[in-house]
Amino acid sequence: MKKPNVSADAIGSSALEQPGPSGPVGPDPMTRDPVLDQKMGAVGRCLGYGDEKKANIAGLAVAVFTIVLIAVVCVYLLSESDENRSLLGSLITPVFGVITGSIGYITGRKD
């Protein structure tokens, strides 16, 4: 194969050979957005924002309902009235449903 005769000056002046920027383009990702707190609000500061927000809410639900489940079981065991025990026993199933549903959301596939 024959090499084309190209001068050294032609290589630097070609549109395809122009050098790119020497550093990253756009805003610095390590710089905090000055209006981020305004965008998120009070709930956003607690739960996060973006893609992780849904998992944070589900994790919070697991934590809260686990505490509720422990409280219901403790009151159930300390209760001596059959009426109170039946009421507390009927609360255990929905609490387990929320916990397992939240754990399934966190660990499940998101296709």
pLDDT tens for residues 35-66? 777 777 777 777 777 777 778 888 888 899 89
Q: Which pLDDT score, from 0 to 100, does residue 74 have?
A: 87
- Which tokens in the block code for residue 33? 């957005």
Q: How confident is the model at residue 17 (pLDDT cuts 50, 70, 90)?
A: low
Q: Which pLDDT score, from 0 to 100, does residue 99 have?
A: 87
In sequence order, the 6+-apart residues with CB closer than 8 A to the CB of 60 are 47
Q: Which pLDDT score, from 0 to 100, does residue 67 have?
A: 93
What dihedral angle (degrees, nearest 10) is formed by the CA atoms of 23, 24, 25, 27? -120
Q: pTM for the complete prediction?
A: 0.56
DSSP 16: G
d(CA 79, CA 89): 11
